[in-house]
Structure 1
Amino acid sequence: MKITIDLMACKAYANCLVEAPDVFDFSEETGKAIVLEGGVPNASIEDVRRAIDACPTHAITVVE
């Protein structure tokens, strides 16, 4: 599973961090969401799906 974040669309609402804190964080440089290194733990796949649904700007995409 590869997760990408459209930084132009991301408005830093932090919904992704609430739904999948093991997968997402904020960049101190840009103030936007980032995907943490190490991929998606199997237990977090459903959390990622909830994060995608919770993103009001649809900035998160996944390729499985």
Structure 2
Amino acid sequence: MRISVDPDRCQGHAQCLSAAPELFGFDDEAEHALPLQEKVPAGQEPVARRAAAACPERAITLTD
């Protein structure tokens, strides 16, 4: 599973960081979240899904 954040949609609410701090970081300069790595580590798929669901802007995309 791959994870990406659309910087144009992300408003910096950081809900993904709260839900999955091991998968997301925050770009303070650009003021939006970003994945710490492109590929979700094995076993972390449910956490990635929760983080995507927590995003109020729906800026997170998960692909198989």
- TM-score bracket, shorter-length normalisation: 0.7 to 0.9
1:1-57 superposed Cα distances (whole Å, 9 cap, x missing partner): 111111111011111001111100101321100110363222321111001111111
More divergent stretch after superposition (38-47 vs 6-15): 38-47
Structure with more of its chain in helix, by fraction: 1
1:12 paired with 2:8, answer: no
TM-score by length of 1: 0.87
Runs of 4 or more consecutive aligned structure 1 residues displaced over 3 Å after TM superposition:
none
Is 1:26 matched up with 2:26?
A: yes
Percent identity (aligned): 39
RMSD of the alignment, in Å? 1.3
Q: Which runs of 5+ in 1 are unaligned?
A: none
Structure 2 runs not aligned, ≥5 long: none
Normalising by structure 2, we get a TM-score of 0.87
